[in-house]
Amino acid sequence: MSELAAFQVRLGYLFRNEQLLCLALTHPSLAHDQNKPLPHNQRLEFLGDAVLGVILSRHLYETLPGADEGILTKSRAKLVNAGALAIHARALGLGPHLVLSRGEENMGGRERESTLADGFEALLGAIFLDGGFEAAREFVLCQFAGDFTTLPAEPAGIENPKGELQELLQSRSPNAPHYQMLSATGPDHDRQFECAVMHDGAELARGHGKSKKAAESEAALAALKKLREEVKA
């Protein structure tokens, strides 16, 4: 069995047009090295990126019915970042099959995260062209099956509640939220602040904290939870 045939067995997909597979494995460095317009995988990478986004977006939409747009976007981003795609590429043994320039080879291109991620997307683009959307969808859902089980219906924690609240509200209205300090009580060494977050003239929520910044963050977090509960209701 040839190396390409064995690779296709690992993919779980046999190409009707093996030239598409060869193109998907050809790194742009080869054309740069030979200083002539040789075909390479960047166009397939562009196509594969779009196909991957559609397939994962649809799957997340169907399997996370309680998730809002923000959660769906973050879940998809977690699945398609370069590190995640490189892991899938390594699991498939993609690196050894890449066709690289000598310089790229010497610089460790077969193990470079970005090269592997791009190669994975190009491979998906080739599968899409060779077998159609359903073939691409089956390949993606098979490859990502384990990843889906680790995605929460809601984020475990919110690192930047003020930023996320602003993003959520500005998807609905051109106006950004603003914060109003309501009170500051207690001695200087143990101050307690209360802030409200306002949007379009209405108070969304209040928060407390030992600093104005902490109170604003708590108010933003409370507003996010309130708005998401309203979406689920």
Domain spanning 161-232: CATH 3.30.160.20: yes
Q: b vs e for 5-32, b when ≥16 Cβ sit within 10 Å of the residue's Cβ? A: eebbeebebebeeeebbbbbbbbbbbbe
* Mean pLDDT for the chain overall: 88
Q: Is 69 a catalytic residue?
A: no
Q: What is the pLDDT of residues 212-228, one digit of tens each?
A: 998 999 999 899 888 87
Name the active-site residue from 45, 104, 121, 218. 121
Domain boundaries of the chain, sorted by first residue? 3-148, 161-232
Q: What is the pLDDT of residues 74-123, one digit of tens each?
A: 889 889 999 999 999 999 999 999 998 888 888 887 888 999 999 999 99
DSSP 231: H
**DSSP strand pairing (192-199 vs 178-185):** antiparallel
Name the active-site residue from 45, 49, 130, 164. 49
Number of Cβ atoms within 10 Å of the Cβ of 127: 26
Q: Do domains 3-148 and 161-232 have the same CATH topology?
A: no
Q: What is the pTM of this model?
A: 0.66
Q: What is the CATH number of domain 3-148?
A: 1.10.1520.10
Residue 80 tokens, joined? 């398609």
Distances (CA, A) of 207 to 134, 152, 204, 231: 49, 26, 10, 21
Q: Is 218 a catalytic residue?
A: no
